[in-house]
């Protein structure tokens, strides 16, 4: 199967188009990498890039984008609403096909090591690449932000995974990690009673005893006269789309409410959708290679 890795770096510039474009161009310049999205946010003063390709090419593009961000962004002046520790703030690698999470962790390690060695920016490994439980969650890694980390980086528990325990003067520090693809999945319910959506969301989410790897909120879609269970599925390989959908459906039935629709927001890996087809059709022996378009992507 073709190896595909995704990278979704976030850098600390969301206002100056010429800076954003130069960083995006660093990705575009790498052969075999496809830049699928450039999403600046002016208030956050932050931009999210989405690109995908073979692992070596994606690793190279992540490094080149980081190098350009380190060159162009001066954190001594940077202001924005979003928490951040550096010019290139966070670089997550996401296995899409033909790769395990361990493979993505290897890429995070290699890129993190190179960033520290060649750009003199201290690197924290996070999420699946974290070296201690305290670094699993990004908010913990970002604690104190660029300003606070100037001093706390010297503490033993804040020692970077790569590079010296010293902030880069203009570029700060960077979090590099590996995680599963996140799927934003919402289920709409045929009622105007948001309390029902909130109750179901509470039952669904990991934090209150529901499904692992699921975040869920009950939301009022007042304009449409319906409510929504809005979810993030953080690891569809272990907690697939259909399981979240069916659980919402069954919990809604308890309230005499029907599912009237659902939506997937943004990008979704093919394998996550094949899981849905597999479940409902009870497929046996179906492989990704039988999808004509997936065959076309094979090298």
261 binds a second copy (CB under 8 A): yes
Interface mask toward a second copy for 7-46; x: CB under 8 A: ---------------------------x-x----------
Cα 281–Cα 284–Cα 286 angle in degrees, nearest 5: 95
DSSP letters spanning 7-50 = E--EES-SS-HHHHHHHHHHHHTSTT-EEEEEEEETTTTEEEEE
Long-range contacts (CB closer than 8 Å, 24 or more residues apart) made by 205-211:
205/231, 210/247, 211/239, 211/243, 211/244, 211/247
274 binds a second copy (CB under 8 A): yes
292 binds a second copy (CB under 8 A): yes
**Cβ atoms of 131 and 108 closer than 8 Å:** no
291 binds a second copy (CB under 8 A): yes
Interface residue with a second copy among 209, 256, 285, 299 (CB under 8 A) is 285
- Mutual orientation of helices 17-28 and 55-72 as an angle, nearest 10°? 150
Q: Which helix (H) or strand (E) covers residue 81, if one does?
A: none
CA gap 76, 202 in Å, rounded: 41
Site for a second copy in 87-116 (CB under 8 A): 96-97
222 binds a second copy (CB under 8 A): no
297 binds a second copy (CB under 8 A): yes
Residue 143 is a catalytic residue: no
Interface residue with a second copy among 126, 146, 162, 245 (CB under 8 A) is 245
Q: Which residues pair with 92 in a beta bridge?
A: 177
CB of 268 to a second copy, least distance (A): 6
Nearer to a second copy, 17 or 37 (CB): 37
- Nearest-CA neighbor of 70 among 163, 151, 157, 161? 163
Site for a second copy in 124-163 (CB under 8 A): none
283 binds a second copy (CB under 8 A): yes
Nearer to a second copy, 129 or 241 (CB): 241
Q: Which residues bind a second copy (CB under 8 A)?
A: 4, 6, 34, 36, 52, 96-97, 188, 241-242, 245, 259-264, 266-270, 273-274, 276-277, 280-286, 290-297
Q: Which residues are catalytic?
A: 82
């Amino acid at each position: 199967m073709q190896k595909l890795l995704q990278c979704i770096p976030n850098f600390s510039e969301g206002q100056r188009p010429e800076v954003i474009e130069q960083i995006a161009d660093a990705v575009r310049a790498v052969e075999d990498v496809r830049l699928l999205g450039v999403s600046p946010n002016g208030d956050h003063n932050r931009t999210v890039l989405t690109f995908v390709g073979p692992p070596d090419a994606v690793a190279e593009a992540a490094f080149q984008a980081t190098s350009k961000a380190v060159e162009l962004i001066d954190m001594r002046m940077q202001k924005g609403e979003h928490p951040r520790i550096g010019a290139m703030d966070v670089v997550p690698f996401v296995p899409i096909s033909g790769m395990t999470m361990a493979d993505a962790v290897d890429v995070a390690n290699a890129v993190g090591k190179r960033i520290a060695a060649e750009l003199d920016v201290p690197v924290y490994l996070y999420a699946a690449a974290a070296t201690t439980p305290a670094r699993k969650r990004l908010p913990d890694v970002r604690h104190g932000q660029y300003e606070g980390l100037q001093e706390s980086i010297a503490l033993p528990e804040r020692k970077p995974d790569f590079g010296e325990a010293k902030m880069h003067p203009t570029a700060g520090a960077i979090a590099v990690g590996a995680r599963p693809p996140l799927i934003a999945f919402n289920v709409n319910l045929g009622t105007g009673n948001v309390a029902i959506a909130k109750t179901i969301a509470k039952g669904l989410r990991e934090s209150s005893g529901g499904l692992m790897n699921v975040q869920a909120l009950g939301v009022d879609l007042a304009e449409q006269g319906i409510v929504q269970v809005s979810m993030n599925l953080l690891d569809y390989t272990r907690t697939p789309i259909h399981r979240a959908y069916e659980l919402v459906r069954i919990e809604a039935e308890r309230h005499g409410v029907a599912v009237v629709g659902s939506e997937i927001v943004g990008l979704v890996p093919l394998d996550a959708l094949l899981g849905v087809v597999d479940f409902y059709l009870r497929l046996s022996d179906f492989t990704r290679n039988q999808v004509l378009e997936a065959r076309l992507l094979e090298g």
